[in-house]
Structure 1
Amino acid sequence: MKISEIKSCFVGPLVSPEQFIAEHFFIFLAKGMMNGYDGNKHYKLKPGESCIIRKNRLARYNKVKENNEFEKVIFIFDEPFLKSFQKKHNILFKNYTSKDAFVKLRKDSLIDSFLLSLEPYYNDSGNIGAVFSDLKREELLLILLKLHPELSDILFDFGIPGRLDLEKFMQQNYKFNVSTERFAFLTGRSLSAFKRDFKTIFNETPNRWLIKRRLQEARFLIEEKKQRPTDIYMDLGFEDLSHFSFAFRKEFGITASELLEKMK
């Protein structure tokens, strides 16, 4: 069996579909590509590559199929598992810091051998059975810490985000489609403190400001960059095209498609 023949499997708690990473996870791509964005940088994962995607980060990622196939292996390193692991093993910290939400891992035969070893443990649904899932997670984590000791500073940091500059954070991350509660958490505030500070800074409610800010950016992209509404609405944090179109017309008195036609 070759690395490229590995089938998809998923080990650990479910990942939220939100553009917020609630738990660290390891991902390996066997087929296809994945594009990621964390508000600061764009990332690309190719077949045969792997990375750690970090918790308490805003991140957007999409898959690109190869010959109509997309095969990946995902291991979730949730906090209860990591705390249990830490009790069993001596964790050494390296004072490593990084702002990246996607931490690329170098290719190594240890990772390849581990991935190939998973096949006998797949159950009928294509996942690792519950009896072996924690054992295989522990094995993978031991391998990753051997290859990348600096990961200990990322994975075993159980702190919560500190208080951030609210205006700067929101101007940088308004395109991410997450709840007000998530924004409050990531800026180091309670929900009530977040709403209070937000009103002081923007003189607007968070939900209304987010919609207006996204629509302003949409208008700029259509007028100045001649981009199509169908190409931008998801990247701007709108869940569907109809919601975007309705909001755009309500805000500007013209549909996004009509505006694009005027610009031609």
Structure 2
Amino acid sequence: MKEKGKVFMTNTRQHKYTWENVQPRHILVHIFSGELALSYGKTSLTFISGDTVLIPRNKLFRTVKSPVNGEPFKCVSIILPDQHLRKFYLDRSVMEIEEESKSSYKVIKPHPLLASLFGSLLPYFDMLEELPTELIAIKIQEALTVIDTVDKLASAILGTFEQPGKIDLEKYMEEHFMHNLQLDKFAFLTGRSLTTFKRDFKNVFQSTPGKWLTIKRLGLAHHKLLIERKKINDVYMSVGFENISHFSFAFKKRFGYTPSEIPLNR
């Protein structure tokens, strides 16, 4: 990955590159080649060459970046800091949409202005020195102007600045338990302090977060291995485990046999 301040390029020929995180700022991504799969909760979307997608801030997601047909995965991303957004939308109208849509990925409509914006950034990644701060600010301003021109609905996401409010804990955890995230992040994303999160969790699930998450993740893993016939290497990360040895140990402790020992007729 080559990075120029708040503008960076990903260029990988690896078979797959998987990454999971919560970003505190909006990110605008344009794909030049390969495929980008974004998973959040039980939803998965795939974006291809030519697509431009806006990833909202504070969104828990897993990305899988894959080369396609011998071409590397290649994209350019622009991080959109709040200070730039607040200044840009200070005297502009902001569209109203449903609250749930504000936290969803948004595909920005194809447009020559978008192609020109991202195409103009490519030469900078051949430079050895850092992209000047002043130029980054200009490119962020250009990006916001282009988005506001080609897709006004994006303003509903970019032009609002509320932090996550307290939401339905049971619904959120049932939809996102498979993400490998620290408890303080789950607390933040559900609009709670860590102490309140643990207390509310106990009241809702009659269990500690750690025990409940492990049982839910292993249950999903068992289903993927037995019913969907997925490979172990494709399962353990997708259900929230960091490494295969920890996954195998926890799986055997829970079910009495290792993932590789699941019989076809079980």
Please report the TM-score for the alignment, with normalisation by the length of structure 2: 0.86
The Cα offsets for residues 175-213 of structure 1, whole Å up to 9 and x where unpaired, read as 111111111111111111100011112222212211111
Shift of 1:224: 2.7
Instruction: Give the aligned partner of residue 4 of structure 1.
Output: none
- Structure 1: state its 5+ residue gaps: 1-6
Identity of matched residues, %: 32
Q: Report matched runs for 1:116-195 at 5 Å.
A: 116-119=119-122, 121-122=124-125, 124-125=127-128, 128-195=131-198
Instruction: Give the aligned partner of residue 258 of structure 1.
Output: 261
Instruction: Give the aligned partner of residue 25 of structure 2.
Output: 23
8 Å CA contact retained: 1:12, 1:133: yes
Shift of 1:62: 0.7
8 Å CA contact retained: 1:121, 1:129: no
Instruction: Give the aligned partner of residue 34 of structure 2.
Output: 32
Q: What's the secondary structure of 1:133's corresponding residue?
A: helix
Pair 1:246-2:249 in alignment: yes
Q: How many residues align?
A: 253
The Cα offsets for residues 154-183 of structure 1, whole Å up to 9 and x where unpaired, read as 112110112211111111110111111111
Instruction: Give the aligned partner of residue 96 of structure 2.
Output: 95
Query: CA distance change for structure 1 residues 127 and 73 in 2, over 3 Å: closer, same or farther?
Result: farther
Query: CA distance change for structure 1 residues 123 and 227 in 2, over 3 Å: closer, same or farther?
Result: closer
Separation in 1, partners of 2:143, 2:235: 38
8 Å CA contact retained: 2:30, 2:53: yes
Instruction: Give the aligned partner of residue 12 of structure 1.
Output: 6
Instruction: Give the aligned partner of residue 53 of structure 1.
Output: 55
Instruction: Give the aligned partner of residue 240 of structure 2.
Output: 237
8 Å CA contact retained: 2:106, 2:154: no
Separation in 1, partners of 2:86, 2:126: 27
Q: What's the secondary structure of 2:118's corresponding residue?
A: helix
Comparing 65-74 with 119-128, greater Cα deviation is found at 119-128
Query: CA distance change for structure 1 residues 193 and 166 in 2, over 3 Å: closer, same or farther?
Result: same
Query: CA distance change for structure 1 residues 13 and 61 in 2, over 3 Å: closer, same or farther?
Result: same
Aligned residue type for 1:103: K
Separation in 1, partners of 2:230, 2:71: 27
Separation in 2, partners of 1:11, 1:143: 20
Query: CA distance change for structure 1 residues 243 and 13 in 2, over 3 Å: closer, same or farther?
Result: farther
The Cα offsets for residues 45-97 of structure 1, whole Å up to 9 and x where unpaired, read as 1111111011111111111113251211100012233224345xx22012123
Query: CA distance change for structure 1 residues 215 and 47 in 2, over 3 Å: closer, same or farther?
Result: same
Shift of 1:222: 2.5
Comparing 46-55 with 118-127, greater Cα deviation is found at 118-127
Separation in 2, partners of 1:120, 1:135: 16
Shift of 1:252: 1.9
- Structure 2: state its 5+ residue gaps: 9-18
8 Å CA contact retained: 1:25, 1:52: yes
Separation in 2, partners of 1:154, 1:33: 24
Q: Which structure has more strand as a fraction of its residues?
A: 2
Shift of 1:120: 5.0
